[in-house]
């Protein structure tokens, strides 16, 4: 007969094993999550590094044109303010309302990319040019929910473009001047030759003529002859001025450069009742520099024309050349109103550029010529003394 079955206690051992298995599985999942979090953080850091290493300024905008994220370059382009949370038109352009023809708004509407340039006219970044590009960020349904705005400071490039335009313009003017000088030189040669021939034959015409009339005729012929030769000198200087020089520097007398340039503007000064006074205090042997004649004549011509623009009718322009240690020092002073050289950047008020008409002197071109000759140029202005430009060049010794 079978023995009766006794009541057995619950199988606590089996329940324990099941709980231990559950905890092991949970711990494995926790470790997997930790690994994924570490990997996600690593990817996030890597993306942040890539984001900040982009050479352009990057801004992420939401649909309301609020700045939600910027990279380090963008913070560098617009320092001194917290960009996050601000409207893009206020943070970057100091405007209280959305920009006209806003490219970000167009991108949200059309879902297309746009690019262009903008000139900042207000705030701390006045006078800067920025190149921009807008691109859409789309959600899975294809709707644009954020905008990527790329910005690049291209002010320096625009300045080089302007200088290239100025150089091309000067080259065209030089080419035109050379042609005109050649055409004018021929009749001037005839005028000078015939007037000189009449003066030589003048003594044979004395008999039978009124002495007062003869005196007047001789005086007129002398003036014609002198002015014709003066014009020929001006034409020769103009031809030298427009003629391209070699790439090599040569030893030049700075006083000769200044005097030749003055001869080109003397008539303009006379027409505007402006007096030009030139004082040469250079010591013999310390009056030469290494340079390019055409560039130096361009330099002094530009500086003189600039001085004419600030001098009112009846003003005065003084040029003084002297020695300062082992340097040639040229001081150009006028009694006109002061003018800030910083206004010569592209697009600045009172300055002609590719978008404006008229002709103005870009002082940065003068700076480049001076630096190319290893010199230094300083600008000062005051109500009492007017404008003073001082140029230093090392002597050729």
Per the prediction, the chain carries an average pLDDT of: 76
Encode pLDDT of 158-173 as tens digits: 877 777 776 666 666 6
The mean per-residue pLDDT over the stretch 79-91 comes to 82
What is the rounded distance in angstroms from the CA atom of residue 143 to the CA atom of residue 140? Answer: 8
- Rounded to two decimals, what is the model's pTM? 0.45
Task: Tell me the torsion sign for CA atoms 50, 51, 52, 58.
Answer: positive
Encode pLDDT of 200-225 as tens digits: 777 666 666 677 777 777 777 787 87
Which pLDDT value is given to residue 349? 35
The mean per-residue pLDDT over the stretch 76-100 comes to 83
Q: Which of 305, 293, 316, 320 is nearest to 265 (CA)?
A: 305
- Alpha carbon 43 to chain centroid, angstroms: 42
- CATH code for the domain defined by 246-397: 3.30.565.10
Question: Which residues lie below 8 Å from residue 127, measured CB to CB, with a gap of 6+?
Answer: 119, 120, 155, 345, 346, 347, 348
What share of the chain has pLDDT > 90, as a percent? 7
> Strand pairing of 288-291 and 275-280?
unpaired
Higher pLDDT, 256 or 249: 256
Q: Where are the domains of the chain?
A: 53-153, 155-244, 246-397
Higher pLDDT, 37 or 243: 37
Among the four given CATH numbers 1.10.3470, 1.10.287, 3.40.1620, 3.30.70, the one describing domain 155-244: 1.10.287
What is the rounded distance in angstroms from the CA atom of residue 176 to the CA atom of residue 186? Answer: 16
Encode pLDDT of 306-349 as tens digits: 888 877 677 888 999 999 888 999 999 888 654 444 444 444 43
- CATH code for the domain defined by 53-153: 3.30.450.20
């Amino acid at each position: 007969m079978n023995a009766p079955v006794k009541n057995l206690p619950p199988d606590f051992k089996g329940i324990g094993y099941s709980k231990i298995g559950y905890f092991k599985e949970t711990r494995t999942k926790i470790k997997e999550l930790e690994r994924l979090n570490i990997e996600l953080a690593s990817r996030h850091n890597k993306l942040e590094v890539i984001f900040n290493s982009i050479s352009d300024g990057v801004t992420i905008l939401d649909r309301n044109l609020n700045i939600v994220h910027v990279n380090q370059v963008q913070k560098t382009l617009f320092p001194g303010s917290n960009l996050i949370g601000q409207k893009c038109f206020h943070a970057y352009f100091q405007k209280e309302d959305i920009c006209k023809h806003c490219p970000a708004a167009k991108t949200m509407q059309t879902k297309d990319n746009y690019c262009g340039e903008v000139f900042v006219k207000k705030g701390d970044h006045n006078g800067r040019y920025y190149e921009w590009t807008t691109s859409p960020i789309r959600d899975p349904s294809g709707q644009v929910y954020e905008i990527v705005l790329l910005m690049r400071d291209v002010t320096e490039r625009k300045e080089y473009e302007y200088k290239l335009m100025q150089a091309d313009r000067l080259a065209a003017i030089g080419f035109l001047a050379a042609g005109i000088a050649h055409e004018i030189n021929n009749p001037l040669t005839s005028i000078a030759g015939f007037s000189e021939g009449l003066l030589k034959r003048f003594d044979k015409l004395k008999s039978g003529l009124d002495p007062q009339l003869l005196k007047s005729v001789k005086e007129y012929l002398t003036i014609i002859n002198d002015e014709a030769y003066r014009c020929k000198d001006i034409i020769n200087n103009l031809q030298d001025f427009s003629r391209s020089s070699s790439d090599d520097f040569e030893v030049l007398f700075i006083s000769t450069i200044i005097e030749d340039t003055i001869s080109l503007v003397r008539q303009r000064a006379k027409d505007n009742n402006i007096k030009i006074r030139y004082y040469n205090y250079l010591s013999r042997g310390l009056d030469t520099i290494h340079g390019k004649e055409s560039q130096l004549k361009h330099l002094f011509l530009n500086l003189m024309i600039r001085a004419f623009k600030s001098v009112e009718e009846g003003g005065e322009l003084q040029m003084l050349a002297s020695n300062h240690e082992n340097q040639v020092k040229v001081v150009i002073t006028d009694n006109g109103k002061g003018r800030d050289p910083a206004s010569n950047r592209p697009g600045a008020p009172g300055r002609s550029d590719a978008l404006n008409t008229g002709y103005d002197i870009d002082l940065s071109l003068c700076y480049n010529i001076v630096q190319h000759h290893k010199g230094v140029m300083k600008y000062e202005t005051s109500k009492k003394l007017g404008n003073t430009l001082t140029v230093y060049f090392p002597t050729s010794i």
